[in-house]
Amino acid sequence: MEQDIAAAETIDLQTSYAESGVAEVLEELDRELVGLAPVKKRIRETAALLLVEKARRQLGLAFETPTLHMSFTGNPGTGKTTVALRMANILHRLGYVRKGHLVSVTRDDLVGQYIGHTAPKTREILKKAMGGVLFIDEAYYLYRPENERDYGQEAIEILLQVMENQRDDLVVILAGYADRMDRFFESNPGFRSRIAHHISFPDYSEDELLIIAEGMLARQGYHFSPEAEATMAQYIEMRRQQPHFANARSIRNALDRARLRQANRLFESRNGPLTADDLSQIEAEDISVSRVMQTVKLDPASGKVAP
């Protein structure tokens, strides 16, 4: 009898982990996103914390719902929204949110343009997000101190109240550039005190961006020729040095234009019947005519971008 009582008062974390399905979510994240090792490490650590806190609750130990609001900082196209989606799934599987859905918004979804418009807009978004995760991209645009008639402060006050009083039914993730988020937190200490997890998303390396490009093409049923792969590597090196580079987002846009050029090349050549490979292969010329490659100089000896 004593052995049964002892067994009932223990929890096997590995069994709980397996039964929760969190491992599947983390594996999916690994498949979806190239690199981002420090981000994935933080997500695993957070999942472990939540699993332990859940076990403490099940064993009747002192328990208080942990503060789960987060800040994701990094440049565009580094996977912040994708990680937020997976985080919502993890929170749901471990019982920290009821639904596990993600509502992604910007300032325009929360802030009105006239008196009395902001509060109902913000509350409607919060209503949709309850039971899940509210992802606010470029959150610093909520605060515009230079404009005395701006209504962003009203949205901020409502958000802070809900983040504190309903933290067991809603997780808020603020996202944006690191330097701007730092200034935003300095100006709005209420947000800083409610954010428990700060995760920094690094830029992708050139090798990682090439892998991302190949993966994007493969999912669409396309592939690079060997020459096109080398040309794409040059394109990536050039594009990373130009303004407004948005990591994977910029690569996706470049591939969309390459497919457009490929389609026009095939249509205009009219060299008889086309094979499946003809229709699926991106050639070097589909990339090399890009404006990026026409405006950046290469070192003739190394083929690298000239200093």
Does 121 share its domain with 171? yes
Does 112 share its domain with 232? no
The contacts of residue 237 (CB under 8 Å, 6+ apart) are 206, 304, 305
Of 40, 30, 33, give the one whose Cα is nearest residue 78.
33
Q: Is residue 284 part of a domain?
A: yes
Does 135 share its domain with 46? yes
Question: Which pLDDT does position 307 carry in this prediction?
Answer: 52
Question: Which pLDDT does position 4 carry in this prediction?
Answer: 40
Question: Which pLDDT does position 60 carry in this prediction?
Answer: 85
Question: Which pLDDT does position 269 carry in this prediction?
Answer: 80
Q: Is residue 300 part of a domain?
A: no
Does 180 share its domain with 214? no
Does 132 share its domain with 211? no
User: Which domain, by its residues, includes 271?
Assistant: 206-295
CB neighbour class for 72 (10 Å; exposed up to 12, middle 13-18, buried from 19) = buried
CATH code assigned at 149 = 3.40.50.300
Among the candidates 146, 173, 201, a domain finishes at 201
Pull the structure tokens for residue 279. 């229709």
Q: Is residue 85 part of a domain?
A: yes
Does 218 share its domain with 159? no
Residues in the chain with pLDDT values less than 50: 1-8
In whole angstroms, give the CA distance from residue 143 to residue 145. 6
Distances (CA, A) of 198 to 71, 73, 79, 97, 202: 5, 8, 15, 20, 13
Write the pLDDT tens digit of every residue in 174-198: 999 999 999 999 999 999 889 989 9
Q: Is residue 307 part of a domain?
A: no
Among the candidates 201, 236, 258, a domain finishes at 201
Write the pLDDT tens digit of every residue in 117-170: 899 999 999 999 999 999 999 999 998 877 767 788 999 999 999 999 998 899
